[in-house]
Amino acid sequence: MKKTLIIGSSPNPSRYAYKAAHMLKKFNHEIVNIGIKAGEVAGVDIEKPGKIYNDIDTITLYIGPDLQAQYHDYVLATKPKRVIFNPGTENYEFEKLLEKHGIEPVEACTLVLLSTGQY
């Protein structure tokens, strides 16, 4: 199983980050929720960015490119194997930065990857 950190977690059931958290748990992936709104998703509290996890396989992004710069150092310090840029989060500059640090950027939808067995 791939421990996954979700950036942009929201307690709002209509948000894709919320749906992804539940689907990740359904497929037995451990999750870490990072977001700005307090609450919990899929039984896991939403944390503010700060604590560096060193056992993250995948980070999945649910924040737009305009907000991503403030997370660059956090993502790099976490050292995931890959970062998934969900639709609407694609960011060429951030993707190049990740590649420079040996982290694979993936432009895909977490929900689709999970539902098709490609996660």
Tens of pLDDT along 10-58? 999 999 999 999 999 999 999 999 999 889 999 999 999 989 999 999 9
Give the separation between CA 55 and CA 4, rounded to whole angstroms. Answer: 9
Strands 58-61 and 4-7: parallel
Three-state DSSP state, 27: coil
Report pLDDT for 65.
97
Q: Which domains does the chain have, with CATH numbers?
A: 4-115 (3.40.50.720)
Give the residue, 113 or 37, on which the prediction is more confident.
113
Three-state DSSP state, 107: strand
As beta bridge partners, residue 107 has 85
Report percent pLDDT > 90 for the chain.
Answer: 96
Amino acid identity for residue 100 in this structure: K
Report pLDDT for 100.
98
